Amino acid sequence: MSGSVRVAVIGSGPSGLYAADELSKHDAVSVDVLDRLPCPYGLLRYGVAPDHLKMKSLEITLRKILERPGVRFLGGVELGSGVTGITVDELRECYDAVVYATGSSVDRRLSIPGEDLPGSFSATEFVSWYCGHPDARVDAFTLDARSAVVVGVGNVAVDVARILAKTAQDLHVTDMPDHVLNVLEASAISDIYIVGRRGPAQAKFTSKELRELGELASADVVVDPAELVLDEASKEVVETNKTVRRNLETLQEWSSRPLFGRDRRIHLRFLLAPVAVLGTDRVEAVQCERNVLDGSGGVTGTGEKVTLAAQLLLRSVGYRGVPLPGVPFDERSGVIPHVSGRVQREGRTATGEYVVGWIKRGPTGVIGTNKGDAKETVEQLLADLETLPRAPRREPDAIIDKLAQRGVGVVTWAGWEAIDAAERALGAAVGRTRIKIADRAALLIAAAKTLAG
């Protein structure tokens, strides 16, 4: 093998950066990490709840990857056609291999009547808003609702409920943008329902996330003991799964704990399947059918209806990937088809194309799961190095030059550092560590003096 191998990683979230980490261990490989946003870190910056400070500290580790000599960050580069986009063919002109790491960015729908009424949102929309994502409208949420229903019993649902239950003062220590804190300060919400169609043994939240709800000073937790009764299949899960056992113990404790008369209440409801969203001009209630466990881990509807009054509905029932322009996509599974990370086109391995993360395996696992996943893919790429055709344009700035010809500036690592400094300065001015800049134009202005191209 002669000369350096140039690899483009599309997406700067944990999965993409873990792939860059593995690749950068080899002197013969240089890596450009491309992201459509001006800022790196993907889900860590725009998906992890702002009050999870320990998890967000993982940025320190990911930052070290992007600071390595053989790795570059190129922000504001979107995969796609048009003036501001870069196509797969153009990428292949400049890189010997491409690794797709774009995640699963859209929520699954409930597919029930009334789901599109005003006041009904996906959890991703709400998370993007409170995390200051540039794609989220500043005025997307007002929180004038008195009660909210969060459908889903995974960690994202718990995060959403916790943020709704906390006070703005609780969240002042985070990097939340001021417009989010202002809305939370004025929130009228008093009751938050977390609704799952199956029983507590089938819930997907982790014990740590669940317990945090019971530690809130601003909210009581309400659990109906009748909804904690287990069938034989659920009992087997409890016996064999430590996380489920701890979760059930926590829920049982809460079901017998007296309420403290706090301003807000979080209701954990099980065996309720939403069947309709009620309302005329906006969400007024969520109608559910009561389920019973069927003895084998599933549920059966009873026909009994339970109506939860609510003016805000947030669905968190799973995620799926979205197709990338010019990249094969399996609509059924919502991922890029692959074999051990090697992308497949029409049943054959695509030379020089690889995939990692949720867009590879679906929305499963935690952030750390991406490490082993990335290692598997990179092992395939490294095994292919000798046979990979070399890109015709070998100059390091080829992709930057292509975009510059269209008047598109690329946010380099220096640009991100300028954004980072601007956010820290905003925070320091009011006694906070950082205030996230949510507006895309403002982000580019902060990076403007360093734009490449």
Tally of domains within the chain: 2
* Rounded CA separation 317/319 (Å): 7
Q: pLDDT (tens digit, 9 = 90+) per residue, 369-403?
A: 999 999 999 999 999 999 999 999 888 899 999 88
- The alpha-carbon radius of gyration of the chain (Å, integer) is 23
Report the pLDDT value the prediction gives residue 331, as an integer from 0 to 100: 93
For CA atoms 128, 132, 135, 137, the dihedral sign is positive
Q: Which of 315, 336, 354 is the last residue of a domain?
A: 315
In a domain, 437, yes or no: no
Do residue 236 and residue 274 come from a single domain?
A: yes
Same domain, 182 and 193: yes
276 shares a domain with 173: yes
Q: What's the rounded mean pLDDT across residues 16-28?
A: 95
Residue 73 host element (H or E): strand 71-75
Cβ atoms of 32 and 75 within 8 Å: the answer is no
Last residue of a domain, one of 277, 293, 315: 315
Q: What is the CATH number of the domain that holds 176?
A: 3.50.50.60
Region 74-91: mean pLDDT is 88
Q: Say yes or no to pLDDT of 441 above 70.
A: yes
Structure tokens at 183: 């809305």
Among the listed ranges 81-85, 122-126, 160-164, which one has the minimum average pLDDT value? 81-85
Whether the per-residue pLDDT at 159 is higher than 80: the answer is: yes
3 state DSSP class of 89: helix
CATH code assigned at 367: 3.40.50.720
Joined together, the tokens standing for residue 435 give: 């205030």
pLDDT number for residue 453: 59
- Taking phi over 0 as left and psi of -120 to 50 as alpha, with beta for the rest, 346 belongs to left
Same domain, 126 and 264: yes
Domain assignment present for 443: no
Residue 432 domain-assigned? no
pLDDT for 200 beyond 80: yes
pLDDT tens digits for 284-306?
A: 999 999 999 998 889 999 999 99
Query: Mean pLDDT, to the nearest integer, of 212-222?
Result: 97
In a shared domain, residues 168 and 310: yes
Please give the pLDDT value at position 106. 85
Average pLDDT over residues 293-321: 94
* Domain region containing 9: 5-105+321-410
Model pLDDT, residue 80? 86
* Same domain? 63 vs 13: yes
In this prediction, residue 81 has a pLDDT band, given cuts at 50, 70 and 90, of: confident
In a domain, 173, yes or no: yes
What is the tens place of the pLDDT at every residue in 117-153? Answer: 999 999 999 999 999 999 999 999 999 999 999 999 9
State the number of CA atoms in the 13 A half-sphere of 281 facing the CB: 0
Contacts by 78-86, CB closer than 8 A, 24 or more apart: 78/36, 79/10, 79/34, 79/36, 79/324, 79/325, 79/326, 79/327, 80/324, 80/325, 81/325, 83/406, 83/407, 83/408, 84/403, 84/406, 84/408, 85/325, 86/34, 86/399, 86/402, 86/403
pLDDT in tens, 28-38: 899 999 999 99
pTM: 0.94
pLDDT band of residue 192 (cuts 50, 70, 90) is very high
| Pair 295, 241 in one domain | yes
Helix count (H) and strand count (E) of the chain?
Answer: 16, 20
* Across 307-316, 394-403, 428-437, least confident range: 394-403
Whose structure tokens read 């504001």? 76
In percent, the amount of the chain with pLDDT more than 90 equals 89
Mean pLDDT of the chain: 94
Question: Residue 160 corresponds to which amino acid?
Answer: V
State residue 452's pLDDT score. Answer: 67
Mean local confidence (pLDDT), 218-242: 96
Closest CA to 377 of 349, 350, 336, 342: 342
Alpha-carbon separation of residue 5 from 338, 340, 431 (angstroms): 22, 21, 46
Confidence of residue 420 (pLDDT cuts 50, 70, 90): very high
In percent, the amount of the chain with pLDDT more than 70 equals: 98
Asked whether the predicted pLDDT for residue 2 surpasses 60, the reply is: no
| Residue 436 belongs to a domain | no
pLDDT tens for 44-72 read 999 999 999 999 999 999 999 999 999 99
Q: Which helix (H) or strand (E) holds 200?
A: none
Asked if residue 3 has pLDDT above 50, the reply is no
Q: Is the confidence at residue 82, as pLDDT, over 80?
A: no
Average pLDDT over residues 199-203: 96
Domain boundary among 315, 333, 365: 315
Is the Cβ–Cβ distance between 291 and 197 less than 8 Å?
yes
Rounded to whole angstroms, the Cα distance separating 126 from 76 reads 23
If asked whether residues 139 and 180 sit together in one domain, one would say: yes
Residue 313, pLDDT above cutoff 80: yes
Q: In this model, does residue 1 exceed pLDDT 70? A: no
Are 291 and 178 within one domain?
yes
